[in-house]
Amino acid sequence: MQTVRSNDGTTIAFDRSGAGPAVILAGGAFSYRRFPKLLQLAELLSHRFTVINYDRRGRGDSGDTPPYAIEREIEDLAALVDAAGGAASFWGWSSGAVLGLRAAASGVGLQRLALFEPPFLVDASRPLPPRDFGVRLQALVDAGRRGAAARYFMTQGMGIPRPIVGLMRFAPFWRNLKATAHTLPYDWAVLGDTLSGRPLDPAEWSSATVPTLAIAGEKSPAQLRNAARALADVLPDVRHVELAGQNHDPSMKVLAPVLERFFARADDVRLRAAA
């Protein structure tokens, strides 16, 4: 494990593996750097890239400094880019994808963005979350009711049917979900107004000019597939792909070759510029 200090003094923990151009991995809600699929993806990419797999603030071995603000998470990413040598590509999953997109729009030195199913709600493909969702979620966290916060986020925020969430409570991984549930308001803040059911505002994202790959799974819910397509309508330099047979919990063995081809082009550009 290595650490870097963010702009506000918060310690951000990360693992570095492999060699080559840097790629930063960021998970979504409930995830942390020891999440099994993040470990698998890091291993698959490390034969060609220097992979930085980190704990977002408040999770795992990273610190946290209240009050939370999206700008602090963007500064965390900027500190990781500096630790990588000043330039890195980025892969984000779900809300982690939105974080990377906001960082690129803010001018963080990300060379390429691969965004897997940012959970935007840009149409009527499912009901909107309650208007007071963020307030109620924060109240559950403040009361120390992490299990209730996790259930509320999944059912009312993510739209997962209650019976499925109810069964999750008896699964071995439920303990890990509860361990990160106090950071769910952070994910909600990162999403902002993108769960309004309205089309994305091009002006909000137009400054994210780096080459971007918007990825969705062919078998994912309509909300997530439509969100990935919506990015193709608002970003200046974007390509959209759907992975056959995949959903919001993709096979990393299927995803890794797609990312490798995309990120390798950043190295090609770097080499041509050096020449």
Question: pLDDT tens-digit profile of 164-206?
Answer: 888 888 888 888 889 999 999 999 999 998 998 899 999 889 8
Same domain, 221 and 156: no
Residues with Cβ within 8 Å of 5's Cβ and at least 6 positions away in sequence, in order, are 11, 12, 79
pLDDT(266) > 80: no
Query: Between β-strands 238-243 and 88-93, what pairing exists: parallel, antiparallel or unpaired?
Result: unpaired
Range of the domain at 20: 2-122+199-274
Q: What is the CATH number of the domain that holds 30?
A: 3.40.50.1820
Residue 220 domain flag: yes
Q: Is residue 139 part of a domain?
A: yes
204 class by beta-carbon count within 10 Å (0-12 exposed, 13-18 middle, 19+ buried) = middle
**Shortest CA distance to 77 belongs to which of 44, 107, 48?**
107
Cis preceding-peptide flag for 119 (omega within 30 of 0): no
**What three-state secondary structure class fits 56?**
coil
Residues 105 and 142 in one domain: no
Evaluate if residue 274 carries a pLDDT over 60: no
Please indicate, yes or no, if residue 128 is contained in any of the structural domains.
Answer: no
Q: Do 151 and 260 fall into the same domain? A: no
- Each residue's pLDDT tens digit, 213-242: 999 999 999 999 999 999 989 999 999 999
Report field, pTM of the whole predicted structure over 0.75: yes
Strand 11-17 versus strand 238-243 pairing type: unpaired
Q: How many domains does the chain have?
A: 2
Q: Domain for residue 208, yes or no?
A: yes
166 occurs within a structural domain: yes
Residues 93-112: what's their mean pLDDT?
Answer: 95
Q: Are residues 184 and 216 in the same domain?
A: no
| Distance, C-alpha 143 to centroid of its chain | 26
**Whether residues 118 and 46 fall in one domain:** yes
